[in-house]
Chains A and B, each alone.
Chain A
Amino acid sequence: MKNPPDLLPGTLDLLVLRTLTRGSMHGYGIAQRVKEISGDVLQVGESSLYPALQRLLLDGYVKAEWGSSENNRRARFYTLTAAGQKRLAAERKEFERIVGAIQLVLANA
């Protein structure tokens, strides 16, 4: 099971929130999407995805609703809330700042 031990702490939340900006998605969809977009580099395991989703629910950044999937199975769809939007923007800024800083160090140290 290759979980993102390589992900910086907190980046999973960021990825999930960013993925959800495209609209409601179920858990499997989110995992697939992240995997596809990252060119199979980032694999989000269930054992970290669902706790992360529950945490976001608890914090009110996403809300969940039961709907039917592409092939008419019952699935839980997650939607970004306004608080989630705000959180995403903040997290993203923070993330870019840190990545920029890391790159500075890598390039010049």
Chain B
Amino acid sequence: MRLLRRLAHWLRLRANDADLAEEVAFHRQAIERDLIAHGHSPAEARDAARRAMGNETISREDARVVWLWPRLEAAWQDARVTLRSLRRSPAFTAGVMITFALGVGANAAMFSLIDRMMLRPPALMRDPATVHRVYLYRFIDAREGETGGQYARNVDIARFTTSFSRTAIHTTKQLAVGVGADAREMRIGIVSASFFDFFDAPPAAGRYFGAAEDSPPAGAPVAVLSHAMWQTRYGARNDAIGSRLQIGAVVYTIIGVAPEGFVGLWPLRPPVAFVPASTFAASVMGAPWATTYGSAIGLSTIARRRPGVSVDEATADLSQALVQSYRAQSAADGSSIEQRLAELRPRAFAGPILLERGPERSEVAKVATWLSGVSLIVLLIACANVASLLLTRALTRRREIAVRLALGVSRSRLLTQILTESMALAVAGSLLGVAMATWIGALLRTAFLPGTEATRPAADGRTLAFVAIVTLAVGAFTGLLPVLQARRLTLTDDLKSGARAGTYQRSRTRTALLVLQGALSLVLLVGAGLFVRSLRHVRDVRLGFDADSVLVVDLRMRDVKLDSAQTALLRLRLLGAATTVPGIQHATLEIAEPFGGMTSWPMFVQGIDSVSALGRFELNAVSPGYFATMGTRLLSGRGIESGDVDGARRVMVVGASMARVLWPAADPLGKCVRVGFVDTVPCTWVVGVAEDIHARGFGPQDRNFYYYLAAAQFRPQLGGLFVRAGGDARRAIEPLRLRLQREMPGASYVTVSRLGELVENESRSWVMGATLFTAFGALALVLAAVGLYSVIAYNVTQRRQELAVRVALGAAVGDVLRLVVGEGLRFAVTGAAMGGAIALLAAPRIAPLLFNQSPRDPAVFGTVTAALLLVAVVASLIPAIRGARVDPNAALRAD
């Protein structure tokens, strides 16, 4: 009731104020009239009434305050005063807002990225803290690597563990959805029936598939659509349920629709549909898909810990389950389990549910973590800058503040006003920053998470909450320093001398802020230098092939079943067709793509006990055009030629390192290598040596070796094509795809992509580091320069008189310049020294992210320091010139 009346009052605030004024005036006149009636003169009466009433404004204020929330009223007033004063200095306001916007925008964008990659638990997942990703490891070729993509292995893990209340198998694949012209490759979730039980997500329509539909012998051809797919492709119609849709090789019946926002474990690339793991495995592997350990199809497991089971216990349980699984495998294939366990040394790990938080997180995630720290530093620099500007303002307003204090403004009220100002600036800057974050975020996404769902920081609650917290912190931090300064005001001194006299006071706080800015800028610039050089080293690595000119053709057979002879014929037809497309120079068959996954076979060489102990030997089965297509140079001997057909002498070309490691002292040409599971397979003769290639990263490849067989002799069951295009390879993609598609039987199809894409995926973390460190470093430098400039300019204004005296006494322009620039330079040198020390200390931590680059590279440190000092000189030169031009006559007379 009270509240309602209060609100009603607020609505007619003006009218009420007028009422009150009239009422009080009436009261005064009534007193006046009474006095006249008692015989006083009208003038006397008026004065007496005035005296009796006291300050009418105050009594009116007191009366109206009853209705208002006084604090709110004060806050409103502060806000109005702030807005007025900010509008009076638009350059200052704009400068601060842009500074904040850049700082907040960069942080909001980075937060949005980091949040999606490694903070936000999977949407709709029930109690995500108890859910783990299962990581399985084993040693192969004396190196530990991840394993466990087989269906049978994942089933074993579920079967042999007791620590988990539920487990589920999952993966995603890019599969063709639909048939004919409609067919498009989309992301499909391949999950076991139990997967859905991890989520609080009842289907929006229909139902999920159950355990009976997800089990041997072949699973059931049923699929659940994502909500988005249901909306876009089916117009959210109910008759979608029961309709049929081809996904990959299988025609599925749609039985349900997942609810809105359900993306499984894949928020970045949400699947459009979910199909049973059994059905998918059966369709790509054929019997005995459920029991074989031979074929991995990229499956893995998530598991929910039972209450009371610790993470360590869960890890131990998983490890023993993996051992049992190998035991089962040995029992099935009759091999020795002891030998297998000794070789493989299997181990498992219950990791966090978020991939990017686990042991296998991507380089991009690691660099992104660093960069979010960097963006915080940028924000810190921005804050230091703004605090310094506000401090300057507070100093120039000392006299005004002193006057207001003398007039009885309460100190706390004054402080709130300064805080209001910094908060208002922070809020305005943040609003601008959020808009900027949307834009920066889009850039980040296309550059570093290509093909992922768009985000809108402005519409994301978590990002907005983050921005709100940052805004409060920033507003409080930047407001606090001037407030502390204002608290030190001594009324009388300031009133007497004001800030006008030529006393040149250095503010220690401001000096500290400046040095801090310089130091942090230097740290960021060093980071930028290190990443830029790393990236250059990466780009300078001779890969051993021309990734940019080569296109990769993949064959997607779907349900078209060809025998090996038909497959070979089809590939030859495609090879012939490819070379007829304009702009295509060479083409070759291939079965393995560098950076995309290579194939390895056992190998026997006379005089070497165990070839596999020397490293990993990976092969490609190619046709005669291979070396011309890839641009891989032949160092000696010959390449694969058209005469190397089935039945002719079996030939191979080996990489230079492979030749060196197998035959350190002899000429490799003419040597015999037996490629196969037993050492009695016929010889394959080395006919050529090719330059080394990088197919697993850019670093030194001391244990990876590559060789090439003739496809006509090796007769692979599968594989695609490499095609070399002249000019811009991108432009050849579509004509090539259209031409090749004409050769494809039935529902099968080809995909064409750039080999360069695979390489870019690999170098992305350095590109990201170099780009963002440089952007943030440059931003930091600009902010620091502006900060330095404003401080020096302020100091010069303060020292006008002193400078004028110096000029009057005969100081030359050069002397004044040296004086002022020297001051700026001193700040910069101190900052650079501190920043250098910080960067040297942090160096070992960033070293793993660099490439062939010392984190303490003197060249980088030198260049960056020089750049910082140069900027400092320029920033202080501008006010210095103004200071040197002081007309002593005018300046000395002014006061």
Contacts and interface: CB of A to CB of B under 8 A. Distances in A.
A68 to B, nearest CB: 11
B66 A55 contact: yes
Nearest to B4: A60
A40 B138 CA distance: 102
A27 B28 CA distance: 11
A57 B63 CA distance: 11
Contacts, number: 66
A73 B26 CA distance: 8
Contacts of A55: 66
Interface in A20-78: 26-28, 31, 45-47, 50-51, 53-55, 57-60, 66, 69, 71, 73-76
Interface string B53-67: 110001110111111
Interface in B211-225: none
22 contacts: A26-B23, A27-B27, A45-B54, A46-B53, A47-B58, A50-B20, A50-B23, A50-B60, A51-B65, A51-B66, A53-B63, A54-B63, A54-B66, A54-B67, A58-B2, A58-B9, A58-B66, A59-B2, A66-B19, A74-B26, A75-B23, A76-B19
A55 B58 CA distance: 16
Nearest to A50: B63
Nearest to B58: A47
B771 interface: no
Contact of A46 (B2, B29, B54, B65): B54
A7 interface: no
Interface of A: 1, 26-28, 31, 45-47, 50-51, 53-55, 57-60, 66, 69, 71, 73-76
Contact of B5 (A26, A58, A75): A58
Contact of B54 (A1, A26, A28, A76): A1
Interface in B16-59: 19-20, 22-24, 26-27, 29-31, 33, 52-54, 58-59
B665 to A, nearest CB: 104
Interface residues of B, number: 28
B31 A28 contact: yes
B59 A50 contact: yes
Given A28-B31, A60-B5, A76-B19, A46 B24 contact: yes
B805 to A, nearest CB: 56
B65 A28 contact: no
B62 A47 contact: yes
A50 B26 contact: no
A19 to B, nearest CB: 15
B31 to A, nearest CB: 7
Nearest to B26: A75
Contact of A54 (B1, B53, B54, B64): B64
Contacts of B20: 50, 54
B80 interface: no
B6 interface: yes
Query: Top 4 nearest A-B pairs by Cβ distance?
Result: A50-B63, A47-B59, A54-B66, A28-B30
A47 B54 contact: yes
Contacts of A74: 22, 26
B54 A50 contact: no
A12 to B, nearest CB: 13
A27 B23 contact: yes
B23 A76 contact: yes
Interface centre among A28, A45, A74 (most CB of B within 10 A): A28
Contacts of B26: 26-28, 69, 73-76
A66 B19 CA distance: 9
B513 to A, nearest CB: 47
A8 to B, nearest CB: 20
Contacts of A53: 63
A28 B34 CA distance: 11
B67 A58 contact: yes
Nearest to A3: B54
Contact of A60 (B1, B22, B23, B59): B1
Given A28-B27, A28-B31, A76-B23, A51 B67 contact: no
Contacts of B58: 47
Contacts of B67: 54, 58
A54 B19 CA distance: 12
A23 to B, nearest CB: 18
A5 to B, nearest CB: 15
A104 B373 CA distance: 73
Nearest to A71: B33
Contacts of B9: 58
Contacts of A57: 5
* B19, B26, B31, most chain A CB atoms within 10 A: B26
